A and B are shown apart, each in its own frame.
Chain A
Amino acid sequence: MQFLAIMITAAFSGNFVFSQTYGICPFLGVSKQTKSAVGMGAAVTVVMVIATMITYPIYILLRMADVAFLEILVFIFVIAALVQMLEKFIKKFSPPLYNAMGIYLPLITTNCAVLAVCEITSNALATGVWEMAVIGGVSLNFGWSVLYALFGGLGFLMAMVVMSGMREKINHLSLPKAIQGFPITMVTAAFIAMAFYVFTFISFGG
């Protein structure tokens, strides 16, 4: 039951792109083709999961050492290092994959969604006594945090794929020049967001 709550909250009712508006820059930039959308979404998911696994215990340590103010610096450092290592890893083990999505990898560092996931799961924003964040009625300990990151990333992937599918279709339309490009993309995103809005009516422990 808790598994279901986290899964649905992360991917649907609290979808990173359509509900919480994180990760919009890559969402707009990389969703022109489904192939690159899938690649970017998968890479972001991997980075999210590993980053959460690393930053969750680190934040607890920072809190215990009373240096919680170093959190932003440490988190972004971890994420940047991870992306760098992932890039080298992909380059070494799968050069064709690297050629396909090599240019998008450095962009993951500036993906708000990755840093946002780290911040949410470690509950870094709450002042006062530290308590675990609660999502979907479930207190986020290490395990649930990783699960949340995983499904959050998959939700992001899903958002990218849906968007890329629609954008590929839109390319065939002839639109007035003022509407082409970003405006029609945004309006499309709004309609997809409306579809996802339905999920917010699913409640857990509510």
Chain B
Amino acid sequence: MAEKNKYGKIFADGIIFNNPTFMLVLGTCPTLAMTSSAISAFGMGVSVLVILTLSNIVISALRKVIPNAVRIPAYIVVIATLVTVLKLFLDKVIPPLYDMMGTFLPLIVVNCLILGRAEAFASKHGVFESALDGIANGAGFTVALVIMGIIREFLGAGSFFGIEILGGFKIPFFSTPMGAFIVYGLCIAAFVAIIETAQRHSRIKKTRMLDGVTLGDRAETDKEAA
């Protein structure tokens, strides 16, 4: 049970409470550049998820072997290798995605998120947990990017995943970097506000429950807590 809770915590942290894009604001370059359409956002998100998970696994497996002084260069070499393999793979198997990503595919190497998780988590935990952490953070990143991609595509091109919805109405502003900044800022504000409100409510709820149990009666003592 404790194990399951621990894994659940890793996922909850990665996707919601420490969402790399909205809460920690890491890896922002692809967030601004690749979210002009939902499909490219999804493609970038999944690429980062794959690289992050694989790099976490490899680095976690090698964590006892790599001396502390050269750990950053070693991590970078591993990540660069994975990105190169991904680049070759995409060029052969999914060329449209490769074209869409353009310069930002090699830039996954210097994505602060991947190096950050390697340093903060994979170098200190076992392989399985690191893999889960990679998947969780990658999923959080993908979800955040797709949300932004949907918003920007909807407003900027009037479509949803390429399917025209608003019948030609669009505000091209949102397809530009300027629109990206604004959408990103507002998404952060909204996301943080929602999470904090939810956390506050769950804390209040817990306080009510505890009060009810300790006092042994179900009187409405929650008026002060609210």
Contacts and interface: CB of A to CB of B under 8 A. Distances in A.
Direct A–B contact in the complex, CB atoms closer than 8 angstroms: yes
B127 interface: no
Contacts of B32: 21, 24
B34 to A, nearest CB: 9
A187 B84 contact: no
Contacts of A21: 29, 32-33, 177, 180
Interface residues of B, number: 43
A100 interface: no
B198 interface: no
A72 B111 CA distance: 14
A120 B103 contact: yes
Contacts of A119: 103, 106
B181 A193 contact: yes
Given A24-B32, A109-B110, A178-B193, A190 B25 contact: no
B91 A127 contact: yes
B176 interface: yes
B5 to A, nearest CB: 30
Q: What secondary structure prevails in chain A residues at the interface with B?
A: helix
B182 A187 contact: yes
B84 A73 contact: yes
B97 interface: no
A73 B110 CA distance: 11
Contacts of B107: 22, 112, 115-116
A58 to B, nearest CB: 15
Interface in A103-131: 106, 109-112, 114-116, 119-120, 124-125, 127
Contacts, number: 121
B77 A73 contact: yes
B76 A80 contact: yes
A106 B73 CA distance: 11
A25 B103 contact: no
A111 B33 contact: no
Q: What secondary structure prevails in chain B residues at the interface with A?
A: helix
Given A80-B76, A109-B110, A28 B28 contact: yes
B188 interface: yes
A186 B80 contact: no
A143 interface: no
B12 interface: no
Question: Interface residues of A toward B: which range?
Answer: 35 or more
B210 interface: no
Nearest to B180: A21
Contacts of B72: 80, 106, 109
A21 B102 CA distance: 13
Residue in B31, B81, B185 with the greatest tally of chain A CB atoms within 10 Å = B185
21 contacts: A19-B177, A21-B180, A24-B29, A71-B106, A73-B81, A76-B80, A76-B109, A80-B73, A109-B110, A115-B106, A115-B107, A186-B181, A186-B184, A187-B181, A190-B182, A190-B185, A191-B178, A193-B176, A193-B178, A194-B178, A197-B176
Interface of A: 18-25, 28, 69-73, 75-77, 80, 106, 109-112, 114-116, 119-120, 124-125, 127, 178-179, 182-187, 189-191, 193-194, 197
Given A112-B111, A178-B189, A193-B177, 19 more contacts: A20-B177, A21-B32, A23-B29, A24-B29, A25-B27, A28-B25, A71-B84, A72-B80, A72-B109, A76-B109, A109-B76, A116-B103, A119-B106, A178-B190, A178-B193, A183-B189, A186-B188, A190-B181, A193-B181
